[in-house]
Chains A and B, each alone.
Chain A
Amino acid sequence: MLVAVLSGFVFAVLPVFAGQLLKGKRSILSALIPIGLFAYFCSYVPDIAAGETVFETYSWVPSMGVDLNFNLDGLALIFALMITGIGSLVFIYTANYLKGDPYINRFYAYLSMFMAAMLGLVLSDNLVAIFVFWELTSITSFFLIGYKNEDRDSRKAAMIALAVTGIGGMFLFAGVLIMGMVAGTYSIQEILSSGVVFQDHALYPVILFFVFGGAFTKSAQFPFHYWLPGAMRAPTPVSTYLHSATMVKAGIYILLRFTPALGGHAYWSDTLMLVGGITMVYTAYQALFRTDLKAVLAYSTIAALGMLTFLIGIGTEAALLAAIVFILVHALYKATLFLVAGIIDHQTGTRDITKLHGLGKIMIPVALASALAALSNSGIPPTFGFIGKELIYESTQEMNSLSALLTVAAIATNVFLIYAGFVAGIKPFLGKLPPALTKVEMPSPLLWVPAMLLGIGCLFFGLFPTLIETALAKPALASLGFGSFDFHLKLWHGFNTVFILSLITMGVGLVLYFSLKPSHKLEAVIAKLEPVSPQSLSILVGKGFRQFSLSWTRFFQNGFLRYYVIVIMGFLVVLTGYNTLTETRLLIPDNTFDNVTIYEVITLAIMVVSIGFAVFSSSRLAAVAGLGVLGYAICLIFVFYSAPDLAMTQFSIDTLTVILFVLVLYRLPKYLKLSDMRSRIRDIILALIFGALITTLTLEVLSEPIYRETSEFYAENAYVLAKGKNVVNVILVDFRGVDTLVEITVLVIAAIGVFGLLKLRLKKSEVN
């Protein structure tokens, strides 16, 4: 399974070395990767359906409990099949949709990287690995949304999506780390079998807060939903794949995956029902006001995600079954509708619903696929959507105290969704063909066949729901711990309450569709509320933050080196000064001055003289020379106290520093004016305080008992473990070799920086 996950990443690197290989007509060959993976995961269906799970483990960072454990159970299989199945169709579709695009191979690379990350996410059993793959999906999604990187709005949408899902990723990370700490393991399997009861733990609300933060941002729940409509700037294959079928369901996946561990508590279900409920009603209602085909689909997608969160919140067996089935239902019909929207956009050049009519006359297969998807979306029998909706109503009926409220919310959402589905899936194909669209051509089969296959899927699984029931739904419920739940998916349940609710929904939805026409006027109405929407508010916060950091930086990093020194010293004085004043225990040994040698006195005298020389000299070079003498005097002190390594290094460094100073200062004019009296007094006071502080700190350090464990370890083991007698050097090249490696890397970066700054000569045309 490791190969399956990694193949996408490996493929993504390919364009770097063999970019031309996958351009032009050959680009469709990229689709072989997802198709192969789809076949691979299909081969597991019989095993999983028989109740088995496949567990493979690869050691990754064993010292921190992070392993690449892949666990293919019912839930993971559903997602893996969706990711690779819809992925295959999207890969094929893209070959024509982006035909002639110079960077199509790059697009395929991002897409397959995303697919690999998504597979890793749903297959991983390790919480930390899940987080890593989760972040990878956010990052690849950023590149895909911003694929048209010359378009300012695309870049902005990509940034917003990355910011929202990236912050969410941090929340998830915090959540899984706390879960791992509480349970003592990062493996979900081990957590479940260890019998940890998170619900009774004091940190349970904290865990929920962070896990929800991750799931809600990723799955675009209110009030974080706004990144998803913005992400529609991406090419349509991306919207189809990431923003309706797979990535946005990652949050849902996490919630489902954690249900056995975290679910069942009032905090869990109340929060999810509330957030999911608000999301689905609010965004489904928003969909009524949109005229852009993809915007309608985006808002209805968020509503569907809200519905899923809501169902997981209800948390009964029936509700989880409804959620699992609805994930499939939604993936099938929404992917179809997105592909169709892409075809319309590709062929006509517009996505404005008010301008699109009568396309059915030109592209019959597209219209057919679209109609099937719209019917499934509306839950009209005998489509798969009907079964999904019946299950939803059944589960809302179960909640005794709240059932009326929940059912009304579900019905309202579904009514709006019917409208959205009809507007996006059926309306463009009906009516009279406007003159502007008469020259539109039939799209290539590469575009409409994938849509058709998905559309047929919407109908096929409606007619034969037992296939889904035995192969996917039952094992998925079993992986959530409801293996014994007995149910049968079927179209006809008899003439009962649920069926009546379905009829009401369809009726109201159709009435709404025929009475409300999408128009720009309506869109203008909702646009008036834009200034108080979550998106505008968070952008406001972002702008304020940027303004603040700008003025902060201007204040502290104003380019005057002397000012930096003042800030650093002043900060240190304030930070440590108070503590030093109140709690100092100074140690001044009685016999301090008995052991002073004549060499030390002489060195000290040299230091004092050189400091005075450096301070009072009126020439820069003389001041530098004074500082150089001071450095050499310090070397002597090191020698006296038997630190020859330090002395050697200090000596060489000091020499080079003086040389550097001289080289730089040589070019500067002589002192134009010395600093005035006021700033001199300020500097003297600061210097005296800082010096006093350092002296006090040094004396305080002396009064503390010295812990020799570390130095003794090095001294004892330098020769035993590293075969060296010079402990300092052994620490540098062996015990702390990685530090040294990083330090020399930093040195190289600094040198490149100096070289670049001084040697860079911009051509006139490159300035600005």
Chain B
Amino acid sequence: MKSYILQTATNYLLPLLLLFSVFILLRGHYLPGGGFVGGLIAAIAFVLHMFAHSVGETKRLLRIHPGYLMPIGLSLAVLSGFAPKVISGLPFLTGIWFSDPIPVLGLIGTALFFDTGVYLVVVGVSLTIIFTISEGE
């Protein structure tokens, strides 16, 4: 079931969708969006690629097994929780921010790192489950 139209379209759609998912992740603190939705969109982007090509090719594109994203994301979330404890002795998961906004991204705080952790975990979990099932026997 190879569709050249879908394959070609996917090659252009994938980077766009990924960019969109990051955009959704970053705007989450002020406007609708966030790590969870962003992660889901990124996962859907890869699944689209998988349907157009094959599991093997999507895996090659990713280079690492999506499962590795889960511990990375979890650690990022946990570390961002401990950061306030280490830096200013505040309780676990207190939000702290850099004082000056950064161009494009805006104000950066631990919440963004936490949300990025969520994003990575969601991508990792969705892709791991879907790849595993679609590979089957």
Contacts and interface: CB of A to CB of B under 8 A. Distances in A.
A394 interface: no
Contact of B32 (A644, A740, A745, A747): A644
* Contact size range, B: 35 or more
A663 B109 CA distance: 39
Contacts of B73: 744
Interface string B21-64: 00010001111111111001101100100000000000000000
Given A645-B37, A648-B32, A648-B37, A747 B122 contact: yes
Contacts of B37: 645, 648-649, 652
A751 interface: yes
Contacts of A751: 67, 70, 124-125, 128-129
Contacts of A724: 29-30, 111
A747 B78 CA distance: 15
Contacts of A759: 132
Interface string B123-137: 011101110111010
Contacts of A729: 28-29, 33-34, 115
A726 B30 contact: yes
Nearest to A659: B47
Nearest to A745: B74
Interface string A735-756: 0011011001101101110110
Nearest to A754: B129
B29 A741 contact: no
A653 B41 CA distance: 9
Contacts of B136: 667, 758
Given A723-B29, A726-B31, A653 B40 contact: yes
Contact of B81 (A645, A728, A741, A758): A741
Contacts of A752: 67, 70
Given A726-B31, A744-B77, A750-B125, A649 B130 contact: no
A747 B33 contact: no
A663 B51 CA distance: 10
B88 to A, nearest CB: 15
Contact of A659 (B30, B31, B130): B130
B118 interface: yes
A656 B47 contact: yes
Contacts of B78: 741
A609 interface: no
B95 A734 contact: yes
A748 B123 CA distance: 11
A558 B47 CA distance: 33
Nearest to B43: A656
A302 B93 CA distance: 50
Contacts of B67: 751-752, 755
Contact of A733 (B30, B34, B44, B121): B34
Contacts of B33: 645, 648, 726, 729
A552 B4 CA distance: 55
Contact of B128 (A655, A745, A755): A755
Contacts of B44: 652, 655-656, 659
Contacts of B129: 660, 750-751, 754-755
Q: Max chain A CB contacts within 10 Å: which of B36, B77, B92?
A: B36
B118 A652 contact: no
A723 B107 contact: yes
B77 to A, nearest CB: 6
A663 B78 CA distance: 33
A738 B93 CA distance: 7
A722 B115 CA distance: 14
A751 B120 CA distance: 13
Contacts of B81: 737, 741
A732 interface: yes
A184 to B, nearest CB: 25
Contacts of B40: 649, 652-653, 655-656
A334 B12 CA distance: 81
A744 B111 CA distance: 15
A725 interface: yes
Q: Max chain B CB contacts within 10 Å: which of A644, A652, A724, A730?
A: A652
A740 B92 CA distance: 13
A663 B111 CA distance: 35
A737 B124 contact: no
Nearest to A654: B40
A61 B30 CA distance: 35
Nearest to B121: A744
A664 interface: yes
Interface in A694-725: 721-725
17 contacts: A645-B37, A648-B24, A649-B37, A652-B37, A660-B129, A722-B95, A724-B111, A732-B35, A733-B29, A733-B118, A734-B95, A740-B77, A741-B93, A744-B74, A748-B121, A748-B125, A754-B128
5 residue pairs, one from A and one from B, having the closest CB atoms: A652-B40, A644-B32, A724-B29, A751-B125, A737-B93
Interface of A: 644-645, 648-649, 652-653, 655-656, 659-660, 663-664, 667, 721-726, 728-730, 732-734, 737-738, 740-741, 744-745, 747-748, 750-752, 754-755, 758-759
Interface of B: 24, 28-37, 40-41, 43-44, 47, 67, 70-71, 73-74, 77-78, 81, 92-93, 95, 97, 107, 109, 111, 114-115, 117-118, 121-122, 124-126, 128-130, 132-134, 136
Given A729-B33, A751-B129, A754-B132, 11 more contacts: A648-B24, A723-B107, A724-B111, A725-B30, A732-B34, A733-B34, A737-B81, A744-B73, A751-B67, A752-B67, A755-B132
